[in-house]
Chain A
Amino acid sequence: DAGITQSPRHKVTETGTPVTLRCHQTENHRYMYWYRQDPGHGLRLIHYSYGVKDTDKGEVSDGYSVSRSKTEDFLLTLESATSSQTSVYFCAISGQGDQPQHFGDGTRLSIL
């Protein structure tokens, strides 16, 4: 299994609070991604990173920010959580070229 660890695995918080999710990899892969999974939508890209300090927006980036200060860590932050951000969040990594993406086990986030 690809060395990807997401933390926390579960979180319940209140509307308006800041939330940070962490993705840690041990594969030294260049590319890292954050997706959210919602019923009826499959997975949708939030943000991705193509190197340290290099990030870009995905399809559903509003309300989210990311940071990558080290190759192994990719952080997703909800500055002020809203109920519409209740979802399961997945981190993925991939190497160079046409290598497939490998996924972490997900973080289930509930915003009340």
Chain B
Amino acid sequence: GDSVTQMEGPVTLSEEAFLTINCTYTATGYPSLFWYVQYPGEGLQLLLKATKADDKGSNKGFEATYRKETTSFHLEKGSVQVSDSAVYFCALSDRAQAGTALIFGKGTTLSVSS
């Protein structure tokens, strides 16, 4: 079945450092890809998404590019802030079926210190 694998954390960075969180997927169809972020004590918020190959999703300085040839959707940010400390989830959904559930990676905890 479909699956998502993301790098294990925690990832610990200093403020203004470059961030990469790796995400690869396995899918039988042609999925849409998502990054969600969860701040402590809160629910998941959609950070960005991409629905077809070579699409780049971006939001709040974060970017990720849908790479079909490498089945990857790595999350990047050029300069992290303390406020970016959170858990980040990569997820996919099967585009062929509206309303299908998301399949999540296990999450990567990011801790940014000043």
Contact = CB atoms under 8 A, between A and B. Distances in A.
Interface in A14-64: 30-31, 33, 40-45, 48, 50, 58
A22 to B, nearest CB: 15
Interface in B39-70: 42-46, 49, 51
A106 B43 contact: yes
Given A90-B44, A102-B46, A106-B43, A33 B101 contact: yes
B74 interface: no
Given A41-B106, A42-B106, A103-B45, A98 B101 contact: no
Given A43-B89, A50-B99, A94-B99, A100 B104 contact: no
Contact of A42 (B42, B101, B104): B104
Interface residues of A, number: 25
Contacts of A45: 101-102
A100 B49 contact: yes
A101 interface: yes
A61 to B, nearest CB: 12
Contacts of A50: 99
A84 B52 CA distance: 38
A2 B112 CA distance: 28
Interface of A: 30-31, 33, 40-45, 48, 50, 58, 90, 92, 94, 96-98, 100-106
